[in-house]
Structure 1
Amino acid sequence: MEFGSGGDDFGGGDHRDSADPHRRKKRYHRHTAHQIQRLEGAFKDCPHPDEKTRMQLSRELGLAPRQIKFWFQNRRTQMKAQYERADNSALRAENDKIMCENITIREALKNVICPSCGGPPVSEDPYLEEQRLRMENIQLKEKLDRVSSVATKYIGRPISQLPPMQPFHVSSLDLSMSSYGGHGMVGPSLDLDLDLLPGSSTGALQKFLFPTMSISDMDKSLMADIAGNAMDELIRLLQTNDPLWMKSDDGREVLILENYERIFPRPNTHMKNPNIRNEASRDSGVVIMNGLALVDMFMDTSKWMELFPTIVSRAVTLEVISSGMQGSQIGTLQLMHEELQVLSPLVPTREICFLRFCQQIEQGSWAIVDVSYDLPNQENQFASSCKARRLPSGCLIQDMSNGYSKVTWVENWEIEDRATIHRLYRDIIHSGLAFGAERWLSTLQRICERFACLIPSPEGKRSMMKLAQRMISNFCASINPSNGERWTTLSGSNEFEVRAALHKSTDPGQPNAVVLSAATTIWLPVSAQNVFNFFRDERTRPQWDVLSNQNPVQEVAHISNGAHPGNCISVLQTLNTNQNMLILQESCIDSSGSLVVYCPVDLQSINIAMSGADPSPIALWPSGFTISPDVRQQGQLHAGGIDRGASTSSNTSNGGCSSGSLVTIAFQILVSSLPSAKMSQESVTTVTNLISNTVSQIKAALNCTAF
């Protein structure tokens, strides 16, 4: 971070002193009272001024633009320090409050009357009682400090900034947001117990931190043995073809289970649960990123989530069992937890604890293996409708020329479905496509291609791409704000059902707010490619987008971030309406599916991002669509109840049933900043009508209203 406005930058300095460092001194500029007053006023209006504002202040105050820039940087640093001091004061006050409560309890104990005899109760020695209370107070203080640290790390703000946790009943949440064109509806109150999560995860503090977990040296030795054996197995799976792998009818590499179990026998195989099934696949391809960079990103939890926002809904490193050699990731062994998702509320997430181990195979070649590791009480912590266990899985990364890498990926799962899989996704899940190697690799290739577009590029383009990337991550997290069981079904029919969840916004750039996520998945007798083209085309947008209110839409900015023309970022303007409100949209597509995500953003925020300034303070609540090809056959579609009486010829005219698509429609609506909330009947009706109307408009525009 740059600080100060030294004389070398603005005063010029004496060139005769340059040869003698002892004589050379920096000169500092002292601002006048008028300049400080004007700068403070500008800081209150906008702590992150763009270049245009800085130039205006420069001309007005007679200061160099660089001085203006440094003054704002120093002022933001000063404000941050003040906030930290305030947080420390709040923690001390909380500690004093606990001490007072202990003293009050101790005094109350002196006046307790025995209910049997009416006399004073028999108590412990006063000195021992005082020492016990002192120890209890110390423990409470340590717990408070630990919770505060956790809140800062995982919630994004200190505990002093968290709202009070007392229950608060809301009789009605007004979802009639003008930007959505909704209208409030009066109806009888219906309280739905939607879990208001403390963050974008399900009980993030409890599940991710495992405060009671203690790893002994013996446990670490056991983990190292498990990881080493898993690495040996993975390398054989990566490098061996026959008799382990074969080509399926659709050209995918799938594991020959009988041969695998014979080569890698496991204990109690003859007593295997008949309800457990296996998913195993392998795929390979070229990625636009060098091998070492990929290894570093795979071993860093936050970067891992950036690589796979559509698959990894949340991840955390619980413990580093062993560190890499000589500052590298080679030899690093980590205990991790993650939750994997399909972008639909109909598919439960897979939540696992696992070991990740990195090893260099040879010069320019690295292998990273993941294998499930059972923690105490893990069965209760990760209760879900899907019990997943990851057998040795991972990838081989081999450096190529020109910064490219060849990646060979293996996914190997044991799955026990504890509930019936929704008919729309049954074949996709059972075939292994949903969490298979092909989906991981195609996502990696697309994201790395997107990263390559950042280097080199102007600051404005980089800032816009970072803003769009945060929008995509936010949207993907909203599809499964917790595990699949946390959704509440608002309405259901033979065609689709709307599910909703409330969650707390914890993005560092977002205000402290409660957000309603609502989603549904529908089947369309149109190919996934055609549906993707329909959503990303601004000419057809008025046919489905309630934000446009049927007004024409014009693209005013376009940023390509991949070879496919569908991989791009757009800034759209709705004509004949408020010109200060724009729509930021990113569309992306690969062999596993596609996304079209959008969010209303004001003109000033877009200008800030395009100027190259930090886009993180810009608030985003994106909505959008996920599209995936349907792998089911025509007969299965009719048998599954999808056919609504339409003829086969009409299906074929839209691409055929075998080329149908699964489309998830998801909206996010800012509700309030209250710490807890419930939804009323009118709120339910509003959000249900919003999605129902969108579905109807989409089907009408695609000429498939009979489905």
Structure 2
Amino acid sequence: MEYGSGGCGSQSTGEHDGSDSQEKRKRYHRHTANQIQRLESMFKECPHPDEKQRLQLSRELGLAPRQIKFWFQNRRTQMKAQHERADNCTLRADNDKIRCENIAIREALKNVICPSCGGPPLNDDSYFDDQKLRLENAHLKEELDRVSSIAAKYIGRPISQLPPVQPIHISSLELSMACFGNQGMMGHVPAPSPSLNLDLLPAGTSSSVPNMPYHPPCLSDMDKSLMSDIASNAMEEFLRLVQTNEPLWLKSNIYGREVLSSDAYERIFPKPNSRTNNPNVRLEASRDSAVVLMNSLSLTNMFTDPNKWTELFPTIVSVATTIQVISSGMMGGSLQLMYAELQVLSPLVSTREFYFLRYCQPIEKGTWAVVDVSYDFPHDGHFCPQFRCHRRPSGCLIQDMPDGHSKVTWVEHVEIEDKTLPHRFYRNLIYSGMAFGAERWVATLQRMCDRLTYLMVTSNPTRDNPGGVISSPEGKKSMMNLAQRMVTNFCASISTSSGHQWTTISGLNEIVIRVTVHDSSNPGQPNGVVLSAATTIWLPTPPYTVFNFFKDESKRPQWDVLSNGNAVQEVAQIANGSHPGNCISVLRAFNTSQNMLILQESCIDSSGALVVYCPVDLPSINIAMSGEDTSCIPLLPNGFTILPDGQAEEEEDGASTSSNANRNMARSGGSLVTVAFQILVSTSPSAKLNKESVTTVNNLIGSTVQQIKASLSCPI
């Protein structure tokens, strides 16, 4: 140990000039090993020696008492610093241990089951329950006072003086009947006879606010810190999933898809709390890539906005909302907590519900990563009773290309707990990963980016507007926006989202028909109660053949029972993609009211196809074609969804088309076709479903299905 001359070094006498002082300050005295050993031994016995002890050490070691004093001071300071460092390490280890225990407890709470009722156990802390109830009661009282004061301004008296509202009792039998109004598509559905009683029945509202099954509490700083850690780890795992090929990803013999090797994944990303030990839990993992007509920044901005994200994937995302923005920044990335429901367009397939973190981060110039990972709350066992879903790190890597396009690499990795088997029609499609996999996301993204590009460019003279009735780019844009709203409305009408309660009714010839009723009070929809009816059938015909059949207007009289066999003529057409089947058409039916036209959009990609149509009166079509606002034009669309059945077959000669959109559609053995109709039941807030209306909907859908099978030479 070394000491400076100003403290405990050697002393000198006499006057000092500047150079001598500088030389003395540089002088050091190094203790011998015996001196240090004796000092250390004394320090262990007495870290604070008194003056007598210091003098004794000074005589024994040949050191000045001042040197002894400073050595003990320095040694005590050194020991204190060592203890502080050790304490810091211990506290840091304890902090990490507590954080891990917190995460483990969160994971364990998700699988806790009460032995009495089979559900999550209730909180036994009565004090916190009472406090929570008091706070909730105080909040409800404040809300009641506020509403009462507002109501008093309009009705002239306090709300407490209004007569009580009698409760409406709903019989379960009433939910098994259906009622149609007198509005249909290109024709009139028979109205109920005057003797039938349309008792009022509460219908589901069509609120724009998602009906989340669980409302998370206000997030604390600890929650946000935990979310940031989860998102960072998810980003690291996702980038490795994107950039690593074999042995992590292997080529499958079916369609040439990439399949995740579970053994390699577990070695690279060990998960101590994995739920895959549960025999009911299975994994879906897929990866796909494609070039899309949009740059990385524009795509990332659409992913961070739940409304734009839903518009970008209308056939996949049925509900999306941002619960809270954890962090935001233009070029520094963003992190937000979101809720979403993902769908397959059929009432036979349950939606998948997620609370998840979406982390958007720039990787390098012109490259963005968008990563989703589930964030499970302690109460998440209360929702999604049939299918519990956990989203492992998934998302897309978006890389700019020189021509303004971007390459998108998509990874989907999900844990699914199947408490009930999927419907037999969709079992192959779901288990193969085609229903919710990366290929479907990429195919839809390609098609929608293609559509947005066609929305911005000028008319294509070879395909657009053959009749010359759309006179301006504004008119084209207005028509495309109207058709997009029609498709979005149709997808929502057959969704199994938490806001829809589907009821099964008997059909004709073993055709199972499901119905749901909802209140259509939003702008752009007919006011009143709307009945949605749908059925799904399997056809031994490739999807692209079924799509071409519905798309061909010359064959429309073969399946459109409401047109009474009348032929239709295409008045106008707008291309909304490079594939010839992706277009918007305006059709006129012969021998029917000249004041009514049909707006139709058809689209196809490798994951499936849609043909959606809706009756629109001539004045409304003229409004759209002139480029005016179409948001208030009421739409009640009908149509078909066409999906591959998930059974791989060899591609037939001549089955390929000019586009890659049919690569899976052409190789699929059969088709899953959902036929869906919407009918305005009543302009009243609600209406009861009755027996005569059940017969009507059975005849309508049953006849449509029979004619489709007969036209395609399928067994009836």
The structure-2 alpha-carbon separation of the partners of 1:195 and 1:287, relative to structure 1 and needing over 3 Å to count, comes to farther
Partner Cα separation in structure 1 for residue 396 and residue 407 of structure 2: 10
Whether contact under 8 Å (1:490, 1:500) holds in the other structure is yes
Partner Cα separation in structure 2 for residue 194 and residue 409 of structure 1: 45
The structure-2 alpha-carbon separation of the partners of 1:136 and 1:481, relative to structure 1 and needing over 3 Å to count, comes to closer
Whether contact under 8 Å (2:204, 2:500) holds in the other structure is no
Equivalent in the alignment of 1:683? 693
Query: % of aligned pairs identical?
Result: 59
The structure-2 alpha-carbon separation of the partners of 1:539 and 1:240, relative to structure 1 and needing over 3 Å to count, comes to same
Equivalent in the alignment of 1:392? 393
Whether contact under 8 Å (2:286, 2:411) holds in the other structure is yes
Partner Cα separation in structure 1 for residue 199 and residue 668 of structure 2: 39
Give secondary structure in 1 for the equivalent of 2:455: coil
Give secondary structure in 2 for the equivalent of 1:401: coil
Give secondary structure in 2 for the equivalent of 1:605: helix
Q: Tell me the alpha carbon deviations over residues 287-342 of structure 1, each in whole angstroms, 9 at most, x when there is no partner.
A: 00011000000100000001000000111111111111xxx164211110011000
Aligned length: 533
Q: CA deviation at 1:419?
A: 1.1
Q: Does 1:666 align with 2:668?
A: no
Whether contact under 8 Å (2:210, 2:319) holds in the other structure is no
The structure-2 alpha-carbon separation of the partners of 1:308 and 1:252, relative to structure 1 and needing over 3 Å to count, comes to same
Q: Does 1:421 align with 2:427?
A: no
Q: CA deviation at 1:385?
A: 1.5
In structure 1, give the amino acid aligned to 2:713.
Answer: N
In structure 1, give the amino acid aligned to 2:543.
Answer: A
Q: CA RMSD in A?
A: 3.1
In structure 2, give the amino acid aligned to 1:284.
Answer: S
Of the three residues 227, 233, 254, the one matched with 1:223 is 227
Equivalent in the alignment of 2:351? 349
Whether contact under 8 Å (1:198, 1:204) holds in the other structure is no
Q: Does 1:307 align with 2:312?
A: yes
Partner Cα separation in structure 2 for residue 165 and residue 681 of structure 1: 27
The structure-2 alpha-carbon separation of the partners of 1:446 and 1:206, relative to structure 1 and needing over 3 Å to count, comes to closer
Equivalent in the alignment of 1:337? 339
Of the three residues 472, 494, 501, the one matched with 1:486 is 501
Q: Tell me the alpha carbon deviations over residues 346-385 of structure 1, each in whole angstroms, 9 at most, x when there is no partner.
A: 11110111000011111110101000111232221x2332
Q: Does 1:450 align with 2:451?
A: yes
Equivalent in the alignment of 1:64? none
The structure-2 alpha-carbon separation of the partners of 1:180 and 1:272, relative to structure 1 and needing over 3 Å to count, comes to farther
Give secondary structure in 1 for the equivalent of 2:423: coil
Q: CA deviation at 1:697?
A: 1.0
The structure-2 alpha-carbon separation of the partners of 1:194 and 1:666, relative to structure 1 and needing over 3 Å to count, comes to farther
In structure 1, give the amino acid aligned to 2:362.
Answer: Q
Equivalent in the alignment of 2:189? 182
The structure-2 alpha-carbon separation of the partners of 1:633 and 1:146, relative to structure 1 and needing over 3 Å to count, comes to farther
Give secondary structure in 2 for the equivalent of 1:233: helix
Of the three residues 451, 463, 469, the one matched with 2:484 is 469
Q: Name stretches of at least 5 consecutive residues in structure 2 with no aligned partner.
A: 1-135, 152-164, 459-472, 651-664
Equivalent in the alignment of 1:412? 413
Equivalent in the alignment of 1:117? none
Q: Does 1:559 align with 2:574?
A: yes
Partner Cα separation in structure 1 for residue 298 and residue 149 of structure 2: 36
The structure-2 alpha-carbon separation of the partners of 1:627 and 1:263, relative to structure 1 and needing over 3 Å to count, comes to same
Equivalent in the alignment of 1:607? 622
Q: CA deviation at 1:492?
A: 5.3
Q: Name stretches of at least 5 consecutive residues in structure 1 with no aligned partner.
A: 1-131, 148-163, 636-654
Q: Does 1:698 align with 2:708?
A: yes
Q: Tell me the alpha carbon deviations over residues 36-85 of structure 1, each in whole angstroms, 9 at most, x when there is no partner.
A: xxxxxxxxxxxxxxxxxxxxxxxxxxxxxxxxxxxxxxxxxxxxxxxxxx
In structure 2, give the amino acid aligned to 1:183.
Answer: P
In structure 1, give the amino acid aligned to 2:365.
Answer: Q
The structure-2 alpha-carbon separation of the partners of 1:192 and 1:404, relative to structure 1 and needing over 3 Å to count, comes to farther
Q: Tell me the alpha carbon deviations over residues 475-508 of structure 1, each in whole angstroms, 9 at most, x when there is no partner.
A: 0011115349821101257853111101122543
Give secondary structure in 1 for the equivalent of 2:372: strand
Q: Tell me the alpha carbon deviations over residues 91-117 of structure 1, each in whole angstroms, 9 at most, x when there is no partner.
A: xxxxxxxxxxxxxxxxxxxxxxxxxxx
Q: Does 1:534 align with 2:549?
A: yes
Match runs of 1:630-641 below 5 Å: 630-632=645-647
The structure-2 alpha-carbon separation of the partners of 1:136 and 1:279, relative to structure 1 and needing over 3 Å to count, comes to closer
The more displaced of 423-432 and 177-186 is 177-186
Q: Does 1:290 align with 2:295?
A: yes
The structure-2 alpha-carbon separation of the partners of 1:633 and 1:305, relative to structure 1 and needing over 3 Å to count, comes to closer
Of the three residues 597, 600, 611, the one matched with 2:612 is 597
Q: Tell me the alpha carbon deviations over residues 583-606 of structure 1, each in whole angstroms, 9 at most, x when there is no partner.
A: 000000000010000000000000
Structure having the higher Rg: 2
Partner Cα separation in structure 2 for residue 417 and residue 484 of structure 1: 21
The structure-2 alpha-carbon separation of the partners of 1:258 and 1:536, relative to structure 1 and needing over 3 Å to count, comes to same
Equivalent in the alignment of 1:377? 379
Equivalent in the alignment of 1:104? none
Partner Cα separation in structure 1 for residue 505 and residue 534 of structure 2: 10
Of the three residues 579, 584, 593, the one matched with 2:599 is 584
Q: CA deviation at 1:286?
A: 0.1
The structure-2 alpha-carbon separation of the partners of 1:336 and 1:656, relative to structure 1 and needing over 3 Å to count, comes to closer
Equivalent in the alignment of 2:523? 508
TM-score by length of 2: 0.70
Whether contact under 8 Å (2:429, 2:644) holds in the other structure is no
Whether contact under 8 Å (1:184, 1:682) holds in the other structure is no
Match runs of 1:611-650 below 5 Å: 611-632=626-647
Q: Tell me the alpha carbon deviations over residues 384-404 of structure 1, each in whole angstroms, 9 at most, x when there is no partner.
A: 321111100000000112220
Q: Does 1:199 align with 2:206?
A: yes
Match runs of 1:128-139 below 5 Å: 137-139=141-143
Partner Cα separation in structure 2 for residue 200 and residue 522 of structure 1: 31
Q: Does 1:241 align with 2:256?
A: no
In structure 1, give the amino acid aligned to 2:229.
Answer: D
Whether contact under 8 Å (1:385, 1:485) holds in the other structure is no
Q: CA deviation at 1:513?
A: 2.0
Whether contact under 8 Å (1:295, 1:329) holds in the other structure is no
Whether contact under 8 Å (1:195, 1:486) holds in the other structure is no
Q: Tell me the alpha carbon deviations over residues 403-440 of structure 1, each in whole angstroms, 9 at most, x when there is no partner.
A: 20000000001001111211111011011110000000
TM-score by length of 1: 0.71
Of the three residues 516, 521, 536, the one matched with 1:521 is 536
The structure-2 alpha-carbon separation of the partners of 1:187 and 1:577, relative to structure 1 and needing over 3 Å to count, comes to closer
Give secondary structure in 1 for the equivalent of 2:680: strand
Q: Does 1:273 align with 2:278?
A: yes
The structure-2 alpha-carbon separation of the partners of 1:575 and 1:270, relative to structure 1 and needing over 3 Å to count, comes to closer
Partner Cα separation in structure 2 for residue 417 and residue 143 of structure 1: 44
Equivalent in the alignment of 1:365? 367
